[in-house]
Amino acid sequence: MRVLLDECVDVDRNLAFQQNVNAHAIAVIVLRAPTNRLADLIPLVPC
């Protein structure tokens, strides 16, 4: 079975105000962290 996923992972909290996210068939995932440094983002990603 082959599954294709379209998603956008972003740390920009204003993405919904800057882009028309409803116009695209993708999932938008916004990671909320103190900074956009990799060390702050890694704990938010499931293994």
- Predicted confidence at residue 31, as pLDDT, reads 79
For 1-47, where are the alpha helices, taking DSSP H only? 15-18, 38-41
Kindly write down the DSSP assignment for every residue of 25-37, as one continuous string: S-EEEE---SSSS
Per-residue pLDDT of the chain (47 residues; tens, 9 = 90+): 676 667 667 777 787 777 776 777 777 777 788 988 989 988 988 87
User: Domain extents for the chain?
Assistant: 1-35
